[in-house]
Structure 1
């Protein structure tokens, strides 16, 4: 089977900031291949070149050498009109869904825009929008809301729906879980897997989280300082254990706070062992220092940090007036 996306010896260079040195290479001879319907995970720390690689596939990075072939066609030197026609086949989901959505446009308008650009009738476009919202697990009423009225998880789901609008063959997922908490990120990861199984869309999934990449990917490549250093198999069919030292996703539940009775029992054992009484916050266990009614524990002549307090007849404290 021929690869859907085939990248060979890709080099991406950006000009030096001071214009005195040579160009800075961000990607150095990267070669990867993505088969139809599979997910290739790219693992790398921040600054390794993951976003640059995704931008190169989308035609948004300066390619110095190498080739990027989509369905056997080199897409590096495509003209702007040719690139626009390719957008319906290659889409992207970015880490900042709020920044990728128009804050002044409703969700329905954002999803309808690419359909209207392809001259889809209004009725068919409305049905497609309802289908997409149901597919990504967003209530149908969210179509009339603005992106700022949605949660971060819902905005990321809308970004996935917009990427699926024209039924692409490849989606670039640029660390789409980084802005979400672990529980929402895990749910979104499962959603991406369900979407891929139902649509057959191929993914290139970028993330610094190895556990998340192993969960969703069929194959993995490790990107370090602009180079592919290792390759391996993903864990798409491996269930995620709830606890474990190797897997960090979605992580164990937070440790609950011990109840008050448990804390009291700990203090009682401490007193029996050490013979020292517990010091309470009311100052009963503190040593009072003499001299002039100063603050407890203060040195003579030291600046008072708060005014002295006295007790009212009802037991409440009040500040003395100077």
Structure 2
């Protein structure tokens, strides 16, 4: 991992509230005041249950949707509310890989056009864009001679390689990968993860790696941020979070990760959460996790905890009134 004094990406108090389904219904706070940094060359994993706001966060960062409040600072510049015209030159630095490779590729366009599109938008000539597309096909492990084929002629893993090639066309510095392997077979997942790691080393990329599979996150990420109901409840170095999770929600997630040792798997403690996550349209007061938390106390029902370092000297912050090991 390569780091610098100033983070490449800095998120502060970011929120995204979607209008309710009915005229007078409360807005849905998909992202509820999150803050984190991503350093140059780093991989930050963003994990949590489905519907917790992970994908919305990714789309906010690359400005596919407009944030409600908060700031998104890229390379020292606030891009939160830039006009599309002003944002255009910066889009080459911020790219995204989507979850479903086939759904994210236009079935009516050839692979050459799909990969070339970002370059054409940025002003490259057709010849230059095609040459670059051929180079990228080879870089991601595809046969360059297949560049004039259509997406349906490729397997899921190959289609995701096309999506990765498209994201690299403009030589970005940060790639938001939104569950890039969740729709693939396990063997293919390993190939894509290996590819992304190699590309990071060769190109100096930073990743925001969004996932729900904690085994994959442990493999590829330097740091991990755990998200619940639109908020980050724990963030820190991967080794520290996995070895000593401080938030009850993080502990529950990690207890569900299969262990390779059958004996350890049989004797491990399983933490079962009660009920389903509350609706983001009507989040509980105080700590939003308290209705499912086995450690909840009266203060949890009335006061929302802030992210804070629970163990001095450790690169780990937790939003919990009663963190483990404090």
TM superposition score normalised by structure 1: 0.71
Matched, 1:174 2:175: no
Cα distance 1:121–1:65, how it changes in 2: closer, same or farther (>3 A)?
closer
In 2, Cα distance between the equivalents of 1:249 and 1:105? 43
Matched, 1:196 2:196: no
What do the CA deviations read for 1:155-213 (whole angstroms, capped 9, x no partner)? 00000000000100111100011110111011101110100010011110000011101
* Equivalent residues in 2 for 1:294-305, closer than 5 Å: none
SS in 1 for 2:68: strand
Matched, 1:80 2:84: yes
Query: What is the aligned residue count?
Result: 244
Deviation at 1:75, TM superposition (A): 0.9
Cα distance 1:228–1:147, how it changes in 2: closer, same or farther (>3 A)?
same
Cα distance 1:186–1:227, how it changes in 2: closer, same or farther (>3 A)?
same
What do the CA deviations read for 1:12-68 (whole angstroms, capped 9, x no partner)? 111111121232211111011000111110011101110110111122334222111
* Equivalent residues in 2 for 1:96-135, closer than 5 Å: 96-135=100-139
SS in 2 for 1:101: coil
TM superposition score normalised by structure 2: 0.70
Is the Cα contact below 8 Å between 1:42 and 1:50 reproduced in 2?
yes
- Residue in structure 2 matching 1:21, options 25, 37, 42: 25
In 2, Cα distance between the equivalents of 1:125 and 1:172? 22
Is the Cα contact below 8 Å between 1:182 and 1:251 reproduced in 2?
no
Cα distance 1:249–1:97, how it changes in 2: closer, same or farther (>3 A)?
farther
Is the Cα contact below 8 Å between 1:8 and 1:32 reproduced in 2?
yes
Cα distance 1:25–1:122, how it changes in 2: closer, same or farther (>3 A)?
closer
Deviation at 1:114, TM superposition (A): 2.3
Computed over aligned residues only, the root mean square deviation of the Cα atoms, in angstroms, reads: 2.2
Matched, 1:37 2:41: yes
Deviation at 1:83, TM superposition (A): 2.1
What do the CA deviations read for 1:126-181 (whole angstroms, capped 9, x no partner)? 33222211111111222121001110000000000000001001111000111101
Displacement over 6 Å in runs of 4+: 249-252
Matched, 1:213 2:217: yes
Is the Cα contact below 8 Å between 2:66 and 2:80 reproduced in 1?
no
SS in 2 for 1:100: coil
What's 1:46 paired with?
50
Deviation at 1:123, TM superposition (A): 4.3
Matched, 1:231 2:239: no
- Residue in structure 2 matching 1:145, options 134, 145, 149: 149
In 1, Cα distance between the equivalents of 2:165 and 2:107? 17
- Residue in structure 1 matching 2:160, options 156, 159, 170: 156
